[in-house]
Structure formats: structure tokens, C-alpha cells
């Protein structure tokens, strides 16, 4: 298992301009880790300025991790640092509401390219470096959404099912390598996700959500302890447990009540 002692190591966090990703970066900064943070928007530079207040070095990379060029840009910045990555928190992700056939396919594909392709591309590059030296931690941000068919969020939930499954498989493959793999599976969290995904008029978009800082701390602690997976919040734990014994057709119907456009007005 990777050494649990925090020092002036290097942590890489994606999707770190806001929300859970920013809060994960804060956890690492508080523990004394230097940071390379990435997001596809200029606000990543503002996030870097705030994180530097913790007294740690922060390098911000504006890159679209849904593209090979964006992942390569981040990987090149990691290489240019001349340092080994102690922790990779692969958090970048996006969602998309509406029925699948009503979505713009370019936008739907971007969800897959960000949540799946870009994530595993980066993990493949950094994970090989970790394995070669026999030390490192990887945290993926999955979701309890991955336990249920996501009517009106079909592509997003499917990508999270992939991430949840992938994390368990990768953990097994690396179990004797000194590299730990953990998966944070939050429920609905107070971030900009629902606005960006066009879900603000839905029941789930308008419901009370978990605090991003608390969710991030739960995931970060699980990673530091080498845990395989963690569902944040007792309500989400209950929902995940129920989903495991509920027929998929029933779950799909239940999800439609939460995510169907306009369901927040019903």
C-alpha cells in the first residue's frame, strides 16, 4: 500500500476550477501537497490563486480533457514539472439532460469523451508512472448515478457506470503494485453541474443537495486510507443499496421522475 504520510508531494486534480474538484484540491493543499490543477475554463487560474493561499505551489492548466490534445497538454505539464505524481484525482466530468434522441449528439459525445475517454487516457499515462516506481494513489469520481439507468440522463449515468466498474477492475489489477485505486461515488451535490447540464427545471435539479466540501473530504480520506470505494452520505448509501436489488426497468422509471424536463414544476 502507498505510504500514507503527507509531505511536499505532488497532486494532480482535474475538473478543479469549481465544485468537488476544487474542494479535493483544497484537501491536498491543506496537507502540504503541491498541485497541478486542470479544467477547460479560465476560472482554473482563479482557483489556483486561491489555492496558493495555503502556502503550496500551484500550476494551473487550462485544457479540454475531452480531447487527446487536452490530455496531452496536461501530461506534458506534469512531465515538465520533473516530479512524480503522488496522487491523481481524476474528477473532470460533465452531464447532459433531456431525452437522448433530443440531445445534440456532439454534446452527448463530449460527455463520453470527458467522463470516460479523457479520464482513462490520463490514468493510463500517470498510472504507468506510478506503477513503475511502486507508489501512488488514484481517486476517480464516479457516482451513485452509475447504479441506475438514467432516463433523461442516459449518457451521463452510463459513463458513471463505466467509471465505477473501471475503478474496481483497475484496483484489482494494481493490488500488489503499491498503487491504490479509490472511487468516490457521490449523490446530487451542490455544484454547477445541474446548471451546465440543463437540469435546473428538473426535480433532481431543484432538490436539496450535499455540500461539495464534505463530499470531497469523504473521498479524499478514503483515498488516503486506501479504500476501494466510498458512497458519500447515508441517504446515498441507502439509495445505492436499494438500487442493487431493484430491477433496472423500475430504476429507469424512477429516474425519469427525477430528471424528466419540467419535473421540477410537477
Q: CA–CA separation, 106 vs 104, rounded Å?
A: 5
Residue 74, classified by CB atoms within 10 Å of its CB into exposed (0-12), middle (13-18) or buried (19+), is: buried
Q: What are the DSSP E strand ranges found in 20-127?
A: 34-39, 58-62, 87-90
d(CA 24, CA 7): 16
Question: Do 226 and 125 meet the contact criterion of CB atoms below 8 Å apart?
Answer: no
Determine if residue 204 is left, alpha or beta; phi over 0 gives left, psi from -120 to 50 gives alpha, anything else beta.
alpha
Among candidate residues 22, 33, 152, 156, the one labeled active-site is: 156
Quote the DSSP letter at residue 13. Answer: E
Please indicate whether residue 152 is annotated as part of the active site.
Answer: no
Measured distance CA(167)–CA(232) in Å, rounded: 16
Q: Residue 51 class from Cβ within 10 Å (0-12 exposed, 13-18 middle, 19+ buried)?
A: buried
And the C-alpha cell for 3?
A: 505510504
Residues annotated as part of the active site: 156
Amino acid at each position: 500500500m502507498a505510504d500514507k504520510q503527507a509531505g511536499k508531494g505532488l497532486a494532480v486534480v482535474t475538473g478543479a476550477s469549481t465544485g468537488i474538484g476544487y474542494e479535493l484540491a483544497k484537501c491536498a493543499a491543506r496537507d502540504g501537497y503541491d498541485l497541478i490543477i486542470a479544467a477547460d475554463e479560465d476560472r482554473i487560474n482563479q482557483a489556483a490563486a486561491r489555492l496558493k493561499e495555503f502556502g503550496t505551489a500551484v500550476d494551473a492548466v487550462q485544457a479540454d480533457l475531452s480531447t487527446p490534445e487536452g490530455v496531452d497538454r496536461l501530461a506534458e505539464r506534469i512531465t515538465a514539472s520533473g516530479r512524480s505524481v503522488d496522487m491523481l484525482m481524476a474528477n473532470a466530468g460533465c452531464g447532459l439532460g433531456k431525452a437522448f434522441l433530443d440531445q445534440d449528439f456532439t454534446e452527448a459525445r463530449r460527455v463520453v469523451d470527458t467522463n470516460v475517454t479523457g479520464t482513462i487516457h490520463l490514468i493510463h499515462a500517470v498510472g504507468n508512472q506510478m506503477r513503475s516506481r511502486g507508489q501512488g494513489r488514484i481517486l476517480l469520481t464516479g457516482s451513485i448515478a452509475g447504479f441506475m439507468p438514467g432516463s433523461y440522463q442516459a449518457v451521463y449515468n452510463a459513463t458513471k457506470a463505466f467509471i465505477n466498474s473501471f475503478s474496481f477492475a483497475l484496483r484489482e489489477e494494481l493490488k500488489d503494485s503499491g498503487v491504490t485505486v479509490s472511487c468516490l461515488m457521490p449523490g446530487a451535490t451542490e455544484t454547477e453541474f445541474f446548471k451546465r447540464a440543463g437540469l435546473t427545471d428538473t426535480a433532481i435539479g431543484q432538490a436539496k443537495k450535499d455540500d461539495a466540501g464534505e463530499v470531497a473530504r469523504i473521498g479524499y480520506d478514503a483515498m488516503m486510507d486506501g479504500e476501494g470505494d466510498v458512497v458519500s452520505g447515508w441517504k446515498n448509501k441507502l439509495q445505492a443499496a436499494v438500487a442493487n436489488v431493484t430491477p433496472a426497468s423500475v430504476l429507469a422509471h424512477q429516474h425519469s421522475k427525477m430528471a424528466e424536463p419540467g419535473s421540477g414544476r410537477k
